[in-house]
Structure 1
Amino acid sequence: MLDFRLACFINTIAYVILVYLLYLIINKCNKVNPILFFLLHIAIFFFQPAFYDAVIWKTGSANYLWGTLFCFIFIYRYYSYYRMGARSDNLAKSVQIFVLGLIAGWTNENMSVAIIIYVVLCLFLLFLEKKQVPRWAIVGLIGVSIGCILLLTAPGNYIRLEVTKRGLAERGLVGYDLLYLSIRNTMKYLWHYVLPLLFIYLVFLFLYYKSPKNLLVRRQIIISSVLLILTAIIAHLAMIVSPMFHLRSLFGIIILLIASIGLIYANIDYRKIHIKVLNFLMINILFLIFGWTYYKQYNDVSTISSFWHNREDFIKEQKNKGIDTIVFTERSPMEHKYFIYEMSTEPNVWENIEYSRYYGVRWVKAPSKHN
């Protein structure tokens, strides 16, 4: 396995590349705008309901952060061609986009299906506008479709689905109850996390529409942003087929929505004084809120980190005394929003078993809440 610090560094690079890709999409054909780059990070930080789960947690990031990164590397080619045209159309380009499509289609189920729709819509737009459809664009569609099929037909998917269904069946949820649960969760997340971003999009779209712009450029930008929104909604609705999904599953969907909002925001005409003042106030308020939130959460995570390091020291002390059955004396200062949970008060629960095995003791358990 990778050294923890090296894994953190590589993850950080992946996150920065993802934000930079968003910046390239949003700020295409505009002047360099470093504030916009930082605003994108703030938007991801605030609007992702499971930022720590999808970006900081290594297992979660392997699926959601990295998966979304590959998806955006892939769709950027189509977006860029639609906006700018003229890309080389040779064998090397086709091979490259096929491999990228294969990887993007093999990331996670809802994003894979949505990306196929995005590519199909892009090709349809090119056809409607009587623009040339390059060979690499068709090859990319084939690649992402194959990747998606391989993902959806993987045996592990069916095993996981059966395990989930079995667990829900033990709670009395079968048949139509499962369908109701899926629809309810999908609609709940749509209401809480997707619709607020759609409202923000409409506000910026109104301001953009009032801005003086070249009609062709305006049309391209609005169509591009709507394509991203449709892709996000399709990715969200695709989760109905899953009886249970976590908030981290929304990561790619929220990124798509942020990209569509950012695309409109970056092209608003800020020469009007009232829009310029509102933008200035918004940026400064966001920076202040971000700074305070970051400071507070850094302190929270530092406290939790110190607590678990103290536990490690306690285990070493007990082992030096020849004690291999360990009952901790204090409970963790749990912060559920960081997805850090206390271990069980029973030593035979799997988390405790693995923790004991890692530290080379017979068993460990947390103290009771009433202690």
Structure 2
Amino acid sequence: MKINTNVSVIYIIAFALVYAIAVYTPLHSDDFSYSLLSLDFTNHIAHYLSWSGRFIADYTSNILLHIEDYYVRSAINSLLIVVIIYFISALPYAATGSNQVKTVFPVIFMVFWCFNPNLGQSVFWIVGSANYSLTMLFVVSFLYFLLKWKDSLNKYKTAFLLFIGILAGCSNESASVALSFFCVLIIFISLLINKKNIISICLLCSGVFVGSALLILSPGNFNRAQDVSFQQWYSWPLLTRFLYHIEERMMYPLLTFGLIIALSFIFAAAIVFRDIKRRLVSNEALYSSAFFICSLTALISLAGSPYTPPRSWTGGFYFSLMSLSFVINYLAQNKSILTRSLYSLSIASLMLLFITSYYFVY
């Protein structure tokens, strides 16, 4: 996809808006302890075996923390956030060929800012950003190239996606579960619609499954679960934990970005019903619905976690943005006067909310 000069201004503005906050955010919390971990590979292996399965996130945060120039570190972190949002906005282009990125990107950026379950800890805190946002770069890039190449795979593209898939699977627990679920859907869809590249698709999706297993089944995660502070949680029956998660803990993401989930569902359903009348299934309906389900999968998967700080819901939030990107892409092309009027009114309201939010954050 070519990015012309006029469109690149949008990305520069987005970068400047993130950087203006990031550069004033000091190191805090785990930033100090992880900066002491060093870049020694053996230290990170020991950390993986004893405490955390998030090897990719931990190593990424360590690399950023070892950049001594704070302005450069903040710039890199801000740039990667913008790149993630770009890939999310470009997913409809990869799947449908409809180039509405210049329209989708500003909306996704504002929604990302206004409805993020914990903007500070998932973007401006270096360790938090590495754990809950920067690892999503592997996830969204894997999804982008998978959707773009799935009908034209060769050995080089498959090898690249296999490698990225392993890294994406190692992202964070909720995102890896949702991504694995999406891979199962892709394999199933390929079996039904186009078996031409089914072996390659199964192979590259296996990278996600391997990465997810390395993350979730890591010795460090099992050691961490033995911590005395988690024993009360694990003493509850499995069904009790699940019901508590659904009835109590999931209220936070539903109140924070439930509107985005609801809008994605409503418009995805509208696209599906349109396709039913036409007796066809469009990529817009297919993928907006798939990412909507993945978002719920990511949120529900946290039932296995003994605690869910606000930042932990970020994985589900990102998948809801992916679903929303297809909805916005569809609305941007809709010719109905009523639809365009409602869409314009919604964007105007979102802009007002964004300006207010940014003012108070800054």
User: Is the shorter-chain TM-score for this pair beyond 0.5, marking a shared fold?
Assistant: yes
Match status 1:115 vs 2:183: no
Q: Gaps spanning 5+ residues in structure 1: where?
A: 299-371
Give the Cα separation in 2 of the matches to 1:101 and 1:260: 20
Which stretch shifts more, 149-158 or 53-62? 149-158
Instruction: Say if 2:300 is the partner of 1:232.
Output: no
1:195 Cα deviation after fit:
4.2
**1:1-371 equivalence runs, <5 A:** 1-3=66-68, 4-27=70-93, 28-81=96-149, 85=151, 87-90=152-155, 92-163=156-227, 166-169=228-231, 175-176=235-236, 179=241, 181-189=244-252, 191-193=254-256, 195-205=258-268, 208=271, 215=278, 219-268=282-331, 269-298=333-362
- Please name the residue that 1:358 is paired with: none
Question: Is the alpha carbon distance of 1:194 and 1:37 closer, same or farther for their aligned partners in structure 2, counting shifts above 3 Å?
Answer: closer
| Cα gap change, 1:174 to 1:70, in 2 (>3 Å) | closer
Answer yes or no: is the 8 Å Cα contact 1:123–1:133 preserved in 2.
no
Shift of residue 216, structure 1, vs aligned partner: 7.7
- Whether contact under 8 Å (1:53, 1:60) holds in the other structure is yes
Query: Matched residues in 2 for 1:182 and 1:32: separation?
Result: 38
Q: Which whole-Å deviations, capped at 9, do the CAs of 1:141-190 have from their partners, x for residues lacking one?
A: 22112211211232221232222xx1245xx6561278265454443245
Change (3 A) 1:36 1:217: farther
Partners of 2:122 and 2:133 within 8 A in 1: yes
| 1:232, distance to aligned residue in structure 2 (A) | 1.6
Tell me if the contact between 1:49 and 1:248 (Cα under 8 Å) persists in the aligned partners.
yes
Shift of 1:56: 1.0
Give the number of the structure with larger relative contact order, counting CA–CA contacts within 8 Å between residues 6 or more apart.
2
Maintained 8 Å contact 1:97/1:139: no
Which AA in structure 1 matches 2:114?
A: F
The answer (yes or no) to whether the contact 1:103–1:144 under 8 Å persists in 2 is yes
Question: Relative to 1, partners in 2 of residues 1:73 and 1:217: Cα closer, same or farther, differing over 3 Å?
Answer: farther
Alignment match, 2:14: none
- Residues 217 and 10 of structure 1: CA distance in aligned 2, closer, same or farther (over 3 Å): farther
Length-normalised TM-score, structure 2: 0.72
Partners of 1:47 and 1:14 lie apart in 2 by 19
- Tell me the TM-score normalised to structure 1 length: 0.70
Cα distance, 1:193 vs. partner? 4.2
Amino acid of the structure 1 residue aligned with 2:138: F
Query: Structure 1's 139 and 205: CA in aligned 2 closer, same or farther, altered over 3 A?
Result: closer
Identity of aligned residues (%): 22
Separation in 1 of the partners of 2:193 and 2:361? 49
Distance 1:131 1:123, change over 3 A: same
Instruction: Call closer, same or farther: CA 1:88–1:212 in 2, change over 3 Å.
Output: closer
Paired amino acid for 2:187? L
Tell me the SS of whatever aligns to 2:282.
Answer: helix
Residues in 2 aligned to 1:151 and 1:205: alpha-carbon distance in whole angstroms: 32
Q: CA RMSD in A?
A: 2.7
- Opposite residue 74 of structure 1, the aligned amino acid is F
State the alpha-carbon separation in 2 of the partners of residues 191 and 243 from structure 1.
19
Larger helix share, 1 or 2 = 2
Q: Secondary structure at the match of 2:171?
A: coil
Alpha-carbon distance in structure 2 between the residues aligned to 1:185 and 1:243: 13
Q: Which piece of structure 1 moves more, 192-201 or 182-191?
A: 182-191
Q: Deviations over 1:204-236 (max 9, x none)?
A: 236546879995875321111111112222222
Determine the structure 1 residue equivalent to 2:32.
none
In 1, distance between residues paired with 2:234 and 2:98? 53
Q: Which residue of 2 aligns with 1:340?
A: none
Amino acid at match of 2:98: N
Structure 2 gap segments, 5+ residues each: 1-65
Change (3 A) 1:30 1:59: same
